[in-house]
Amino acid sequence: MPIPSSKPFQKQTAKDKAYEQIKDWIVNGTLMPEEKLAEVELAQSIVVSRTPIREALLRLNEEGLVVIAAGKITRVAPIDADNIADLFEPMAVIEGLAANQAASRIDEASFKKLANLEKKYRVSLNSNKLTTILKADRVFHQQILAIADNDYETKFSNQLYNHIYRYELSMIKLLDADHQNFKITTNHEALLKALAEQNSVKASATMTKDWLSTLKKVVSIQELTEASE
């Protein structure tokens, strides 16, 4: 059959540009929970037409970051603190599986890169800035996902993390930067050891425990915050 002429390659379409920008604004708190989203204002800010804005909002609605109700105003989705386990528990399963696969696929070069990211994470702990620490931790996790090389795991992990990070940011705003009840702890060293040994079972168990321990910590902080109100 005739092959259609190809269009010039574009690094980022207007729809993707709108999606990524609005998503970033929602996740980092620039756009607050339940804030009204006006297509015209968003189009002007991102410098695109209203069509890609509309397409981006539909996609974000499917991902639970935007609420579109028929005949009503489109808003940023609220943060559901009561069901935070619904985010952390599936994340523990997905990234536990990724760690399992990464252990069997890791090579010397990828392990060295992962170890360097762990060092950067340790440096971030000295900054006493929770957002900096969380970002460094996420980069470490993303490298494990990259080693596992499963597009579906990466996609679902990133979608879950967008919601988790929104929640963590909202919680941080309620705490002082040096709040003694919010000390980030991880099992990076144990995880690195399991990966170095190519021990899939141990790597998976360590990653799963890391996420579930974080969930336990987050719930305890949430309870302390509610008790102090």
pLDDT single digits (tens) 141-159: 999 999 999 999 999 999 9
Structure confidence at residue 4 (pLDDT): 37
> What is the fold, at CATH topology level, of the domain defined by 14-76?
Arc Repressor Mutant, subunit A (1.10.10)
Closest to 38 in 3D by CA, of 75, 68, 70: 75
**Cα distance between residue 90 and residue 94, in whole Å:** 6
Structure confidence at residue 180 (pLDDT): 46
**Cα distance between residue 196 and residue 190, in whole Å:** 10
Instruction: Give domain limits for the chain.
Output: 14-76, 81-228
Superfamily of domain 81-228: GntR ligand-binding domain-like (1.20.120.530)
Take residue 182 and report the two structure tokens written for it.
Answer: 């919010």
**Segments of the chain with pLDDT less than 70:** 1-11, 174-187, 225-229
Q: Do domains 14-76 and 81-228 have the same CATH topology?
A: no
Strands 75-76 and 66-67, bridge-based pairing: antiparallel
* Burial of 115 from C-beta contacts in 10 A (0-12 / 13-18 / 19+): middle
Q: Which residue has the tokens 């269009």?
A: 7
pLDDT (tens digit per residue) in 30-71: 999 999 999 999 999 999 999 999 999 999 999 999 999 877
